[in-house]
């Protein structure tokens, strides 16, 4: 009788998601990630300032194509993300349960809500312009039309305690309106965010539209806030000490848009605030002309 062999587990190597690829941190650093009871789960990349710069370059490169895509096409891609998440639901239930100390049933409810959140924002991509844009009444023979445009590259400090639903709730509205994102994942619970990168990479989302970094917001945040090619910053997860204040001061150097942290229940209906926070308004004037003898306007 042959000796019974014990199978060794294949541990997952978590990597960053930058420019549609999965690099390790250029520094080679990692840090231990534990579950809510202190049990080791994995080693996550400890991103450096160089990784943050690379992510900004990738986001800027992707911005033109993503902002120029039709709103309908962006909606299709966001819906595709939901489809891919549905297929990997059990993996995310396990990761969220470990990250947040939830029972399997409660973690499943969180994952389902996150999938539904992608669908919700997918439906808004071709409707938000009708809500915040339109024709303006003016005194004179002119058409005056206002339409929203994406702000550009947005740095997102993801929530610390809502590793997946909160994460989706801050990423989806940014890209739904045509922006690109550099995301700093929850430092203590980055694994669902890093796994989300694998879903985004296979969901038709162009590389560079979302870039996910793991590590310390206190290390990467000041550099990203002051970066001249970052147009806006979401401080939702900047809850450590005076980090939010310091990042807001750094962001003022080139007049970035800043979304300040606030108390939120991510399980509630999100509304349109997070979409409009990173939109600019373009207004166009055009003469109405007059009716000629033929009755046509010009």
Question: Is the backbone of residue 131 left (phi > 0), alpha (psi -120 to 50) or beta?
Answer: alpha
Please give the residue that has the higher pLDDT: either 294 or 159: 159
CA–CA gap between residue 91 and residue 69 (Å, rounded): 31
What pLDDT score does 190 carry? 97
Tell whether the model's pLDDT for residue 295 goes beyond 70: no
Arithmetic mean of pLDDT, 225-244: 95
Q: Model pTM?
A: 0.90
What pLDDT score does 285 carry? 81
Strand partners, 148: 281
Strands 142-150 and 210-213: unpaired
Token readout for 67 is 């902002």
pLDDT bin (cut points 50, 70, 90) of residue 166 is: very high
Q: Give the burial class of 45: count Cβ atoms within 10 A of its Cβ; 0-12 exposed, 13-18 middle, 19 or more buried.
A: buried
Strand partners, 210: 181
What pLDDT score does 3 carry? 61
Tell whether the model's pLDDT for residue 1 goes beyond 50: no
Is CATH 3.40.50.720 the right assignment for the domain spanning 30-287? no
Arithmetic mean of pLDDT, 236-257: 92
Angle at 230 between CA 229 and CA 231, to 5 degrees: 110
CA–CA gap between residue 27 and residue 23 (Å, rounded): 11
Arithmetic mean of pLDDT, 233-258: 93
Cα 27 from chain centroid (whole Å): 24
Q: Which of 7-21, 110-124, 182-196, 204-218 has the lowest mean pLDDT?
A: 7-21
What pLDDT score does 283 carry? 81
Please give the residue that has the higher pLDDT: either 292 or 270: 270
Residue-wise pLDDT tens digits, 20-76:
999 999 999 999 999 988 999 999 999 999 999 999 999 999 999 999 999 999 999
Arithmetic mean of pLDDT, 208-228: 96
CA atoms within 13 A on the CB side of 186: 24
What pLDDT score does 81 carry? 98
Residue-wise pLDDT tens digits, 132-149:
877 778 888 878 778 889
Q: Which of 46-50, 157-161, 239-243 has the lowest mean pLDDT?
A: 239-243
Residues 6+ apart with CB under 8 A from 253: 226, 228
* DSSP labels, 185-226: --SSS-HHHHHHHHHHHTTTPPTTSEEEE-S-HHHHHHHHHH
Sequence spans of domains, the chain: 30-287
Residue-wise pLDDT tens digits, 173-208:
999 999 999 999 999 999 999 999 999 999 999 999
Q: Where are the alpha helices (DSSP H) in the chain?
A: 49-68, 71-87, 89-100, 104-124, 128-132, 165-176, 191-201, 217-226, 243-251, 273-276
Tell whether the model's pLDDT for residue 153 goes beyond 90: yes
Q: What is the mean pLDDT of the chain?
A: 92
Arithmetic mean of pLDDT, 224-237: 96
Question: Is the backbone of residue 271 left (phi > 0), alpha (psi -120 to 50) or beta?
Answer: left
What pLDDT score does 106 carry? 97
- DSSP 8-state symbol, 27: T
Task: Please name which of 225, 232, 231, 277 lies closest in space to residue 249, comparing C-alpha atoms.
Answer: 225
């Amino acid at each position: 009788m042959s000796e019974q062999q014990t199978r060794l587990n294949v541990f997952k190597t978590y990597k960053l998601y930058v420019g549609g690829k999965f690099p390790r941190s250029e520094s080679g650093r990692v840090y231990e990630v534990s579950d809510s009871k202190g049990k080791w789960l994995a080693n996550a990349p400890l991103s450096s300032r160089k990784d943050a710069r690379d992510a900004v370059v990738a986001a800027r490169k992707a911005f033109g194509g993503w902002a120029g895509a039709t709103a309908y096409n962006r909606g299709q891609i966001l819906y595709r993300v939901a489809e891919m998440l549905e297929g990997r639901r059990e993996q995310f239930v396990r990761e969220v349960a470990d990250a947040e100390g939830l029972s399997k049933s409660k973690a499943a409810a969180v994952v389902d809500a996150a999938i539904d959140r992608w669908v919700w924002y997918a439906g808004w991509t071709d409707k938000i312009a009708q809500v915040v844009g339109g024709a303006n009444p003016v005194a004179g023979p002119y058409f005056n039309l206002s339409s929203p445009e994406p702000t550009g590259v947005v740095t997102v400090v993801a929530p610390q305690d809502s590793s997946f639903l909160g994460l989706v709730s801050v990423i989806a509205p940014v890209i739904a309106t045509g922006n690109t994102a550099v995301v700093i994942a929850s430092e203590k619970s980055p694994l669902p965010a890093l796994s989300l990168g694998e879903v985004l990479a296979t969901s038709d989302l162009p590389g560079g539209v979302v870039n996910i970094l793991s590590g310390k917001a206190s290390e990467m945040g000041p550099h990203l806030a002051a970066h001249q090619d970052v147009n806006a910053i979401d401080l939702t997860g900047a809850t450590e000490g005076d980090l939010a204040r310091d990042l807001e001061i750094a962001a003022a150097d080139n007049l970035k848009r800043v979304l300040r942290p606030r108390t939120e229940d991510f399980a509630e209906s999100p509304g349109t605030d997070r979409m409009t926070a990173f939109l600019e308004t373009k207004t166009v004037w055009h003469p109405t002309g007059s009716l000629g003898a033929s009755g046509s306007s010009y």
